[in-house]
Structure 1
């Protein structure tokens, strides 16, 4: 494993009975990368993510984090789902600090981290609110702040903005980029939205349809903040689109 590599996936294969979903997938993720993964609808993107987190047992292959087999009791991995996963009985502040409480982070450090992430996602004034008092987009901000506050080695995001309208999605994408830039967290972001992948990703991995393979990984060197109408943005978006239209 290269020194700047944090995740190495070797010959990952996943079957459900006789159905082959993930077919001998191999790739690496560099430390501090924001990797977006896109592919045709139903190609197995969530299965792929669930295999990384061991929610599913893999049929064969290896998933290594820092050169070791992924072990959720040892490695600090955060997972953000499509649905908001706030705890309704806790305030915004308590939701964000929940993971830090579990890890017994010292009080001063915990307070510092919570303040930092609440500031970035614009929830300082809502710290005493409960999730039921917040919109869906604000609840998702709470979830994202909670994940970043724990300083995970790897953050997995499964289409977290899929249910939001375009304006809210762009706002949360900008906040995600700020958090990623400030923390250096390695992020693997699953999306079916090609424009979102080009807007967010430092690298874009394109998957084939089932049985799923890695078709290609494209670097994205477009300067930030990214303009979705810029010629280089449109060019890369079209390139990704054509690669997904493999049929």
Structure 2
């Protein structure tokens, strides 16, 4: 991984009225990290992500991307949500090219990127289909292709595979790893699934119960492709499980 700090979070605090949700969080994300963020249910993982994207104004502290305060109008940040976020009135190829169109990427470059990522996620022959004609797995592939096609400085993923069955989830996790290795994009991946975090992340950040702060960050050096039945995988999964416990 790079030694360059991509995202620097300094004393991030978020309150809703008198309710303290994020409590003085400070950490760095290095350029090219695939950082999985886990924590107790309801600890504020999505609030944390929404603070990064400026959906929520933070109460105090700062978030820097490449040394600049986060500004989604100026910086290239992509976001993949849980569930389907495709636009039903656009075809697959139009959905994949949507972010590029918004950013006014020249038509030739846009076409090239759409072709490239349709091919990578295996949707080239479905390019003229509409979302209602696709399975849940294919819909998430469209969202993944759309996000990576913009070649974002930072990709945020909020439990994107939470509603899929195990077999589909593993297929899409492998696809994400392949894309991440190919593009070197910095990814923050929120999940409640500990096995998923150990399978995907080169680092795993564990959050505390509310009011939320960073408990610890673990380097995950398990070789890829990862075997969920391997003793070292099970050991790390159990270690993360113990760290998440708040009772």
Q: Into which bin does the TM-score normalised by the smaller protein fall?
A: over 0.9
- Give me the TM-score of the superposition, normalised by structure 2: 0.97
Residue ranges of structure 2 left out of the alignment (5+ in a row): none
For residues 14 and 103 of structure 2, the distance between their equivalents in structure 1, rounded to whole angstroms, comes to: 32
- Give me the TM-score of the superposition, normalised by structure 1: 0.97
1:114 alignment partner in structure 2: 114
Residue ranges of structure 1 left out of the alignment (5+ in a row): none
Q: Is the 8 A contact 1:81 1:160 kept in 2?
A: yes
Q: Is the 8 A contact 1:194 1:237 kept in 2?
A: yes
For residues 158 and 172 of structure 2, the distance between their equivalents in structure 1, rounded to whole angstroms, comes to: 14
Q: Deviations over 1:147-204 (max 9, x none)?
A: 0000000000000000000000000001111111111110000000000000000100
For residues 207 and 142 of structure 1, the distance between their equivalents in structure 2, rounded to whole angstroms, comes to: 30
> How far 1:107 sits from its partner (Å)?
2.5
1:101 alignment partner in structure 2: 101
Q: Is the 8 A contact 1:7 1:65 kept in 2?
A: yes
For residues 103 and 48 of structure 2, the distance between their equivalents in structure 1, rounded to whole angstroms, comes to: 27
> How far 1:52 sits from its partner (Å)?
0.5
> How far 1:105 sits from its partner (Å)?
1.7
2:235 alignment partner in structure 1: 235
TM alignment of 1:25-40, pairs within 5 A? 25-40=25-40
Q: Give the SS at the match of 1:167.
A: helix
Moved more, 116-125 or 175-184: 116-125
> How far 1:112 sits from its partner (Å)?
1.9
Q: Deviations over 1:104-155 (max 9, x none)?
A: 2222322221122112211111111000000111111101100000000000
For residues 193 and 179 of structure 1, the distance between their equivalents in structure 2, rounded to whole angstroms, comes to: 21
Q: Deviations over 1:38-73 (max 9, x none)?
A: 000000000000000010010000000111110111
Report how many aligned residue pairs link the two structures: 246
For residues 103 and 37 of structure 2, the distance between their equivalents in structure 1, rounded to whole angstroms, comes to: 30
Greater than 4 Å deviation, 4+ residue runs: none
Q: Is the 8 A contact 1:120 1:178 kept in 2?
A: no
2:190 alignment partner in structure 1: 190
For residues 55 and 144 of structure 1, the distance between their equivalents in structure 2, rounded to whole angstroms, comes to: 21
